[in-house]
Structure 1
Amino acid sequence: MSNVTVTLAGRKYTINCGEGEEPHIAMLAEKIDRRLSTIDNLAGQSAERTLLYGALLLADENYDLERGGAVKGSALADIAVPLENLADRLESLAAALEDGASTT
């Protein structure tokens, strides 16, 4: 068992984790902290309320992803439409190649 200390909204938390999981836990905490930084007036809130806001933000992001939507303000949102366009083009090219192969 190992520990990693993370910072969320200016508060430090020590998290127990398995050996080797420290970088992953730190990355997840940084992601949560970035989401929390988008909320105004967290400085006066309790730790519990701050973490509740973080959980709600991540749950909302997860909800959008489960429904196939892009996450606002994320890299995924920036590339979703171009990736969909590329997928459509690749499907068209594949269909054209299949049509060409079946006529020869």
Structure 2
Amino acid sequence: MASVDIEIAGRTYPVACRDGEEPHLRSLAALVDRKAREAAGALGNMGETRQFLFASLLLADELKEAHGGNAPAYDATPDPAVADALERLAERMERLAERLESRG
């Protein structure tokens, strides 16, 4: 398992990925970074969590437009492995947000 440091909105985050996927992860991070900076530029000073929220919304909007105005097909059947991974990610993001807010 490889580890990559990615920078988004001026902060560096260590992220694990499969060996050989480092360049792909860096390119995705660069896209998210551009959107986070775009959101901050358009909306002014905001917290990191809100900046990531708006960056996500901008990316989702682009994805929807790329699919002719329709969101990609979505299978509502939950995958337990994906649900567990998303839950762990959400918990990790909440802990990170709490740490960042306590620094402010």
Normalising to structure 1: TM-score of the pair? 0.57
Secondary structure in 1 aligned to 2:38? coil
Matched, 1:29 2:1: no
Moved more, 32-41 or 2-11: 32-41
- Decide whether aligned partners of structure 1 residues 43 and 2 sit closer, same or farther in structure 2, where only a CA change above 3 A counts: farther
Equivalent pair of 1:2/1:18 in contact (CA under 8 Å):
yes
Matched, 1:52 2:53: yes
Deviation for aligned residue 1:45: 2.6
Consecutive unaligned residues of structure 2, counting only runs of 5 or more, are: 71-104
Equivalent-residue separation in structure 1 for 2:43 and 2:17 (angstroms): 27
Q: Which has the larger radius of gyration?
A: 1
- Decide whether aligned partners of structure 1 residues 18 and 46 sit closer, same or farther in structure 2, where only a CA change above 3 A counts: same
Map of 1:12 onto structure 2? 12
Matches within 5 A, 1:1-104: 1-39=1-39, 40=41, 44-67=45-68
Secondary structure in 2 aligned to 1:45? coil
Equivalent-residue separation in structure 2 for 1:30 and 1:42 (angstroms): 20
Across the aligned residues of Structure 1 and Structure 2, the Cα RMSD in angstroms comes to: 2.2
Consecutive unaligned residues of structure 1, counting only runs of 5 or more, are: 70-104
Secondary structure in 2 aligned to 1:60? helix
- Decide whether aligned partners of structure 1 residues 22 and 2 sit closer, same or farther in structure 2, where only a CA change above 3 A counts: same
- Decide whether aligned partners of structure 1 residues 14 and 43 sit closer, same or farther in structure 2, where only a CA change above 3 A counts: farther
Normalising to structure 2: TM-score of the pair? 0.57
